[in-house]
């Protein structure tokens, strides 16, 4: 689709698969992509520090992505 960019919904760092069609999201613009990423900052850091489990981080990312898409 013209004017879109495909990115993983669940980052590769948190176990998302680039080749899984269910994990791909077409962003309408780079500003929307930036908003999505800003809303998810810190999950990877918290997992690495042991402050959050991987499962919790994954659910949080998917939940946030769903709210931002709607």
Domain ranges for the chain, please list them: 5-69
CB 15 within 8 A of CB 9: no
Residue-level pLDDT, tens digit, the chain, 70 residues: 556 677 777 878 888 888 888 888 776 566 666 666 665 777 778 888 999 999 998 888 777 665 545 4
What is the reported pLDDT for 29? 60
Distance from C-alpha of 48 to C-alpha of 44, rounded to nearest angstrom? 6
Question: pTM for the whole thing?
Answer: 0.56
CB 9 within 8 A of CB 67: no
Query: Looking at the DSSP assignment, which residues form a beta bridge with residue 5?
Result: 27
Collapsed DSSP state (helix, strand, coil) of residue 15: coil
What is the reported pLDDT for 53? 93
What is the reported pLDDT for 28? 55
């Amino acid at each position: 689709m013209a004017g879109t960019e495909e990115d993983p919904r669940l980052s590769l760092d948190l176990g998302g698969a680039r080749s899984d069609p269910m994990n791909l999201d077409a962003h309408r613009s780079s500003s929307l992509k930036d908003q999505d990423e800003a809303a998810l900052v810190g999950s990877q850091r918290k997992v690495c520090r042991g402050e959050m489990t991987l499962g919790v981080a994954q659910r949080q990312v998917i939940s946030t992505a769903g709210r931002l898409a709607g």
